[in-house]
Amino acid sequence: MKPRLPTIKDLSKLVRWVKPQICDDYIDEDDTLPSICLTVGADMNNGDWGYQTGDNSYTGGAYCFHVWAVVTVYRRSNSIELARDIRAQLSDLFYS
C-alpha cells in the first residue's frame, strides 16, 4: 500500500504561512536566529493531516495522528525544501 501524504504544494504553502508568525524573540537557546517549530501529523491511510507550531507539548492539531514530522522554520527557509523534508519524514515513518 502506498501512503497518502500531504502534497508538497500544500506543505510549502503552510511553511510560507508560518514564516510571518515568527517573532523576533523566538530564538532557541542553541541558535542565533528567530525560528519556530512546525509539527505535521498525518494519517497516511486516508490522507488526513494537521499541524501545530511552537513547542511539542503533545497537544494541538498534529497530535491526534500516529506519525509526526518536525521541522524548524526560519524566515529565510526554503519552503519547498522543508515541504520535501516533512514528506520524507512522514514517508520514513510509514515504512518503518
Contact 24, 32 (CB under 8 A): no
Q: What is the pLDDT of residues 40-87, one digit of tens each?
A: 999 988 889 999 998 666 678 888 898 999 999 999 999 999 999 999
| Cα Rg, the chain, nearest whole Å | 13
DSSP 14-55: HHHHHGGG--TT---TT-SS-EEEEEEEEETTTTEEEEEES-
Determine the pLDDT at residue 3: 79
Q: Is the pLDDT of residue 96 over 70?
A: no
pLDDT at site 58: 66
Under 8 Å between Cβ of 50 and 62: yes
Give the up-direction half-sphere exposure of residue 26: CA atoms within 13 A in the CB hemisphere.
18
Q: What is the pLDDT of residue 40?
A: 95
